[in-house]
């Protein structure tokens, strides 16, 4: 049931059922989350409908391929369902947790993709085809090279606009740690971009 509900949004050209639209309008995240924790798959589908587009945009920033971004979002929702008892909410919403999980999934998919490309590079072929990226400035590439814990802080606070208190709550760390990781990450990004000749 969960797989069917989550895969629904990616079928192009099919109308959305009315009951899912009404659920998304009637319940806030906290109300839906209470139902998800009780095992309500329909409430999970409503959360998916509400946040899927934002999560997809986030994944698309971190990944080169659209299909990988879709996979990262789907995996994040499966993890949300699987870990629903222990998920940390911020102001009653699982969105910060989902954003962080999508970033983790994106990193894993990117690693797998790199291993796959390395394997293809070693295979005897006439000509290798380079993969097309969409980050001309190098900023996203530099972000991907940050350590995972610093990257999570940058994504939530800078890219998604959450306050330090909310980032701390979502990641389960003190607010002071958020501040120091963010400062360290910004300094690394500034230095790396300066070396590449990009104005930060």
pLDDT one-digit tens code per residue, 96-129: 999 999 999 998 888 877 776 676 666 664 444 4
Spatial separation of the C-alpha atoms in residues 160 and 103, rounded to whole Å: 12
Buried b / exposed e over 87-110, threshold 16 CB at 10 Å, is beebeebbbbbbbbbbbbbbbebb
Give the pLDDT of residue 8: 44
The dihedral over CA atoms of 11, 12, 17, 21, expressed in degrees to the nearest 10, equals: 100
The 8-class DSSP code of residue 182 comes to H
Spatial separation of the C-alpha atoms in residues 25 and 198, rounded to whole Å: 43
pLDDT one-digit tens code per residue, 147-170: 888 888 888 888 888 888 888 888
Rg of the chain in Å (alpha carbons): 19
Most confident of 11-25, 68-82, 162-176: 68-82
Mean pLDDT, to the nearest integer, of 69-89?
93
Give the pLDDT of residue 155: 86
Whether the predicted pLDDT of 54 surpasses 60? yes
Give the pLDDT of residue 44: 94
Whether the predicted pLDDT of 12 surpasses 50? no
**Residue of 124 and 139 predicted with greater confidence:** 139
Cross-strand partners of 90: 93
């Amino acid at each position: 049931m969960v797989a069917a509900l989550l895969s629904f949004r990616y079928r192009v050209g099919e109308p959305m059922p009315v009951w899912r639209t009404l659920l998304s309008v009637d319940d806030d995240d906290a109300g839906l989350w209470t139902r998800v924790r009780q095992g309500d798959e329909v409430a999970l589908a409503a959360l998916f409908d509400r946040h899927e587009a934002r999560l997809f945009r986030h994944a698309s920033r971190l990944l080169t391929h659209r299909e990988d971004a879709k996979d990262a979002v789907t995996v994040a929702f499966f993890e949300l369902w699987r870990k629903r008892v222990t998920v940390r909410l911020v102001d009653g919403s699982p969105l910060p947790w989902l954003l962080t999980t999508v970033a983790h999934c994106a990193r894993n998919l990117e690693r797998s993709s790199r291993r796959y490309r390395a394997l293809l590079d070693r295979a005897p072929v006439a000509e290798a085809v380079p993969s097309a990226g969409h980050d001309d400035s190098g900023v996203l590439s530099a972000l991907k090279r940050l350590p995972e814990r610093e990257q999570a802080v940058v994504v939530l606070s800078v890219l998604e606009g959450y306050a330090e208190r909310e980032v701390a709550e979502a990641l389960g760390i003190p607010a002071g740690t958020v501040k120091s990781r963010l400062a360290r990450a910004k300094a690394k990004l500034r230095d790396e971009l300066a070396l590449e000749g990009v104005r930060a």
